[in-house]
Structure 1
Amino acid sequence: MRETTKGKILVTGGSGLIGSRLSELLTQAGYEVAWLSRSSGKADKYKTYTWDIERGEIQHDALEGVEAIVHLAGAGVADKSWTEARKKLILESRTQSTALLMEKLSALERKPKVFIGASAIGYYGADTGDVMIDEKSPAGDDFLAQVVKSWEASSAPVEGMGSRRVLIRVGVVLSASGGALPQLLAPLKFGLGAPLGTGRQWMSWIHIDDLCRLFLEAIENTAYTGVYNGVSPSPATNKEITTEAAKVLKKPLWLPPVPGFVLKVALGEMAQIVLGGSKISSRKAEEMGFKFDYTHLNSALKNILLK
């Protein structure tokens, strides 16, 4: 059963890569979009409410009349080196912000119909090899896997409040505006592109528009509950993505691949993000009837790179 009444949707992390594009699509679909942010000056287009996670405060009227919450906020995983302090921030920015939302929602007389939580395919572990992974696969035991497990668990209380909960484990988001692709393409533009490590590690990618449409579908279609992988039907290896991007841009590749030990020296523990990977299935979303606009890497890269 599909909800047809448009209402107010509150987005945390709205100014980020996913949040900004999702807000555009939600507005186009007829929803009233509001942001929950640390600062009130984040957007001219959207009503912005403020919250202070450390002090446990949310602007008093932010949650009033909200039909859905899309919770995307969290410190960037690849923005800075993984010092112990940074790792603590990566975890707590997700779990503490979610806990604050749970606390404030529990006091509301009228709860939102649905809570959509961003998650990550890092749940399954940094490197799961060539095995096809689905939502029933076990969690990994590395740092990011533990972060994602705690992140997902922190929103569980909303189900006891009568709200529908959907978690979308986001893969490698392809967008011209940010994420992994601009970093991957930077050397290519100078003719110095190369696969990273062996190049055989899987990158379960998704076009930014398909991902945001999946979030929209999870809001509107009340049959969506639980966990869904936010990835395309065609995962590719690091070498395949690099090679295909070079073809689209008509740039040469610089071989051999960048050795893994070089990346480990440069990035430390964070190197696992680029040296590892997982082959993730999108079947569950497809079985719900979701149609991807970009099922193949070539069409996704052309749409992003040749605009």
Structure 2
Amino acid sequence: MKIVIAGGSGFVGQALTKLLAEEGHELIILSRDASKRVHNISYVQWLQTGAAPEKAIQSADVFINLAGISINAGRWNREHQQQIYDSRMAATEELLRIIATLETKPSVLINASAIGIYPASDDTVYTEDSIDFATDFLAKTVADWEKKAAQAQNDSVRTAFMRFGVILGKDAGALPPMILPYKLFAGGTVGTGQQWISWVHIQDVARAISFVIQNENVQGPVNVTAPFPKRMAYFGKTIGTVLHRPHWLPVPSLMMKIALGKKSALVLEGQHVVPQKLLDNGFEFQYPTLEVALKNLL
């Protein structure tokens, strides 16, 4: 298939590009850099004055939108929050414009999203059928992002919103800062320890996207989390066990709030999210349990 990826240079984008290239697909990476080609991967300029990526695309089977400023970068002041929001809206709007110009429309648009759309809770279990949404900055960003991407349906394009959980990778994502205290023999429970971490291995994220591309009956919200979320206290103890380091020094909530500001909600609050749609459609996780995932990564 011919697949267009926006945000291909990011954490998820790199893993996905590698997987799809290995599967033999022709890839077009939308980038701010000048055009180039490496094997079956082409880099086409977009979001720059005078750029017309639709001329290079002409037709494509799949569009994947991972573009946007990382929520993990920088402090969540009002200016940075606006940049996070605007970068997602602008990139999605441009993809919709490109799709509208194409004579042959893609069969599917895969759009990134996040489980942050669900309210933090210690006891509620969320599936794709859940309609209880949070009202904070992240939830509003996710909801508006999905609503914008859904406009592709006006061109009869199947649309899926991949609601990513806490993505674990060896050199990027949530895991490196989480394991650092343990490497320094200072690891311990963050906050109350009762908050849920709906985690997922980066390879299963890429595999889930490939799975949705190939399964025409999958659309709408798709929770991309491992099937067995864990509470923070258990998560930390498991890191300590895998690394053979002690789990003993607690990190109070107040300390995290002082250090991270509003962004502290990412680690002090959580949701118990289940990937029901993936499971119901036969997706098999390569790393279904936390122990297996951490042993692979660490």
- Separation in 2 of the partners of 1:47 and 1:234? 37
State the Cα distance separating 1:251 from its structure 2 match.
1.0
1:271 aligns with 2:251: no
State the Cα distance separating 1:41 from its structure 2 match.
7.4
One-letter amino acid matched to 1:96? A
8 Å Cα contact 2:59-2:103 kept in structure 1: no
The gaps in structure 1 that reach 5 residues or longer are 1-6
When residues 80 and 56 of structure 1 are mapped into structure 2, their CA distance, relative to the original with a 3 A threshold, is farther
SS at structure 2 position matched to 1:118: strand
When residues 108 and 266 of structure 1 are mapped into structure 2, their CA distance, relative to the original with a 3 A threshold, is same
**What's the TM-score once normalised by structure 1's chain length?**
0.92
1:129 aligns with 2:119: no
1:236 aligns with 2:215: no
- Separation in 2 of the partners of 1:58 and 1:15? 20
SS at structure 2 position matched to 1:187: helix
For residues 77-156 of structure 1, the aligned pairs below 5 Å read 77-125=71-119, 127-137=120-130, 138-156=132-150
Instruction: From 6, 26, 31, give the equivalent of 1:12.
Output: 6
Residue 190 of structure 2 aligns with which residue?
196
1:283 aligns with 2:276: yes
One-letter amino acid matched to 2:149? S
SS at structure 2 position matched to 1:69: strand
The root-mean-square deviation of aligned C-alpha atoms, in Å, is 1.6
1:186 aligns with 2:180: yes
One-letter amino acid matched to 1:276? E
- Separation in 1 of the partners of 2:133 and 2:239? 31
- Separation in 1 of the partners of 2:290 and 2:71? 24
Q: Deviations over 1:55-83 (max 9, x none)?
A: 59542424322110110011010210011
SS at structure 2 position matched to 1:216: helix
- Separation in 2 of the partners of 1:79 and 1:162? 35
- Separation in 2 of the partners of 1:56 and 1:170? 33
State the Cα distance separating 1:134 from its structure 2 match.
1.0
Instruction: From 151, 163, 168, give the equivalent of 1:169.
Output: 163
When residues 42 and 180 of structure 1 are mapped into structure 2, their CA distance, relative to the original with a 3 A threshold, is farther
SS at structure 2 position matched to 1:11: strand
State the Cα distance separating 1:136 from its structure 2 match.
2.1
1:303 aligns with 2:296: yes
When residues 249 and 42 of structure 1 are mapped into structure 2, their CA distance, relative to the original with a 3 A threshold, is farther
Number of residue-to-residue matches in the alignment: 296
8 Å Cα contact 1:10-1:68 kept in structure 2: yes
8 Å Cα contact 1:15-1:42 kept in structure 2: no
The gaps in structure 2 that reach 5 residues or longer are none
